[in-house]
Amino acid sequence: MTIGALSALAVKHEKPGEKPHKLADGGGMFLLVDPKGGKYWRLAYRFAGKQKTLALGTYPEVSLEQARKGRDKAREQLRNGTDPGMVRKVEKLTSYQQAENSFEIVSREWHGKFKPTWTEHTAEKNIRILELNAFPWIGSRPIGEIKAPELLAVLRRVEERGLLDTAHRLRMVAGMVFRYAIATGRAERDPSQDLKGALPPHRQKHMPAITDIAEFGGLLRDIWAYQGGFSTCCALRLSALFGLRPGEIRHLEWSEVDYESKLIRIPMGKMKARRMHVVPLTDAAITILEALQKLTGRGRLCFPGMVNKERPMSENTVNLALRRMGYSGDEATAHGFRSSFSTIAHGSGKWRPEVVEVQLAHKHGDATRLAYDRGDFLKERKDLMDWWAVECEKMRIGADVIKIKKKSAA
């Protein structure tokens, strides 16, 4: 039979029979019609003395014209001494490997491997920055095929939204993913390294904080008078009393609060310094927590989100509350409470510097000292936090407070 024996109309109207039957188009290609009405394009051929069959697709998804193109391509491969069936297997395997080695698959694998070594906040931040800013554009791309210009285009989208710091962090996180891909044999190089200098430099800025005692007293009065949501009010007040990082307060769990010992024990997985942090509880802080527990105590988190109770309060909640109170981002931030506490406590001259630093969950001293100093100055820190609670109350009502000592000129 000559090639091209079938017509599109004949293929369309061919009816099934009691048994499967074939309609030949020539050149080894035929249409297989099964009793249920299914129509399948097939190519019969011989390679290395063996009879073989190659699937060319299913009708009507693959038309007669498309099937013929598949046949012609396979016959060309045969003329070149190649088995089209083996080519098909290699293509399928390559496609599968590329899907398994996509940027998103490798990124999630990398995240799962290293998540135990990060704080919960860092782990969440690392995957979210990829989910929001990278996966939609390069998530399905084979990681070994991504070049510097393609990655730069992803970073530019972030930069053009006014999120320069996020763009820099995305380049850093993507670089860690690429280096993991290199180590596991799925990429040959890290294109993020080619993009050094491709983004404008970071705008260095310090977290705004109020360290003047009179001004801080005014902030405390505004916080205690704030009429926002109850959880937000509690978060604001505890931010002032604890000196913790905003993320450590947002992720606080009721299981970590011990009223009997008057302590909060934050596991090392949540702490930037990678060690458990114990926070002494003052009577003022307990009063706030007990009131909050009546609202959120049935759940795991002290400060759950409004929509998903298994996720913490948004990181912007406290900052937005400060904006509503009239404080600009250049005046006060959630993180700034730590600087306020640090400056006033250090400046009082009442406390050893290492006691204040441990309360802030900072590492103190050199590596040798850290290796041998296992104490956490708990007794002194309890006294420190009791003092701080009293000073906050004095500042809030405008009473006389401790004077900050100024360093003498050298």
Active-site amino acid positions: 245, 272, 335, 338, 362, 372
DSSP-derived 3-state class of residue 11 = helix
Sheet harboring 277-280: ordered strands across?
257-258, 263-266, 277-280
Cβ neighbors of 98 (< 8 A, separation 6 or more) are: 142
Quote the CA–CA distance of 100 and 89 in Å, as a whole number.
16
Cis peptide before 246 (omega within 30 of 0): no
- Tokens representing residue 352 in the block: 């050893």
For the chain, give the number of residues: 410
Task: Give the angle subtended at the CA of 214 by the CAs of 208 and 217, to the nearest 5°.
Answer: 80
CB 130 within 8 A of CB 173: yes
DSSP state of 215: H
Quote the CA–CA distance of 366 and 313 in Å, as a whole number.
36
Pairing of strands 50-59, 277-280: unpaired
Residue 324 half-sphere exposure toward CB, CA atoms < 13 A: 15
Quote the CA–CA distance of 345 and 384 in Å, as a whole number.
8
CB 32 within 8 A of CB 46: no
Quote the CA–CA distance of 222 and 227 in Å, as a whole number.
10
- Cβ-in-10-Å burial (0-12, 13-18, 19+) of 37 comes to exposed
DSSP-derived 3-state class of residue 335 = coil
- Tokens representing residue 232 in the block: 């937000």
- Tokens representing residue 408 in the block: 């003498």
